[in-house]
Amino acid sequence: MPYDPSAFPPFAVTVDLVVLTVRRHSLCALAVRRGEPPFQGRWALPGGFVRADEDLAQAAARELAEETGLRVHDPAIPAQDNGAHLEQLATYGDPKRDPRMRVVSVAHLALAPDLPAPRAGGDASNARWAPVGELLQQDGYGRDGEPVAPLAFDHAQILSDGVERARSKIEYSSLATAFCPPEFTVGELRRVYEAVWGVALDPRNFHRKVTGTPGFLVPTGGTTTRQGGRPAQLFRAGGATLLNPPMLRPEV
């Protein structure tokens, strides 16, 4: 049977990005303002069409670089923090998710250290880091007094899935270090866990756990006092990617 183009319906394929970071003790996601219908003026996740000759991961990495300037961390170069973490999240293909046409979106999850202000085509007012709780709430007002409207399309669902993925993944992997700068202290890492999980952790037990897990942290020898208080040791992320036994998230 020869190839028959009429045998299947054509789809548009996009990548959407859930880019998470930790700023001011809270988990934030990158949001961009839509400049055109549908959902004109509303906030949405960054994303765009996959090009004809592009792999899905390539497309996601390209969009991430366009929106944030971040390069993607290459796991082939271990023990070197050369960019953000990027992984596929899930794919969303409800026939009505985009009113214009049939669009299947392959969502990706990116984790990045705290960054300077985002850029979106050079226009800062069209991109921002927003606390995920603010982006997911249905109505009301944000911390800046701006009225909150739900995210465009099914992006609230996508963001929610991405946050849940991040929350569970830092339990059993060393991924929380992706939120930290190349060198960081145990306290900074703990504040990442606290922001992502939204709980307070015991500094002493946390310190024992992360320094006692082989391959999680590698001391660099330096110390810092940037957080105030007694100077803290600086660490880099070690080679271990899976934590066994995992970090335990306190029960609700």
Stretch that binds a copy of itself, among 51-59, 64-72, 152-160, 180-188 (CB under 8 A): 51-59
Which residues 199-238 are close enough to bind DNA by CB under 7 A?
A: 202-205, 207-209, 211-212, 223, 225, 227-233
- DSSP category for residue 215: T
**C-alpha distance from residue 85 to each of 11, 112, 175 (Å):** 28, 7, 8
Smallest distance from the beta carbon of 8 to a copy of itself, in angstroms?
A: 4
Q: CA neighbours within 13 Å on the CB side: how many for 233?
A: 11
Assigned token pair, 64:
């991430």
Helix axes 203-212, 186-197, angle to 10 degrees: 110
Q: Give which of a copy of itself, DNA, none residue 52 binds (C-beta under 5 to 8 Å, depending on kind).
A: a copy of itself
Stretch that binds a copy of itself, among 2-10, 110-118, 176-184, 186-194 (CB under 8 A): 2-10
Which residues 129-168 are close enough to bind a copy of itself by CB under 8 A?
A: none
Which residues 77-116 are close enough to bind a copy of itself by CB under 8 A?
A: 88, 90-95, 100-102, 104, 106
Smallest distance from the beta carbon of 156 to a copy of itself, in angstroms?
A: 18
Contact 19, 64 (CB under 8 A): yes
For 101, residues 6+ apart whose C-beta sits below 8 A from its C-beta are 12
Phi and psi, residue 141, nearest 5°: -130, 140
Residues that bind DNA (CB under 7 A): 185-188, 190, 202-205, 207-209, 211-212, 223, 225, 227-233, 245, 248, 250
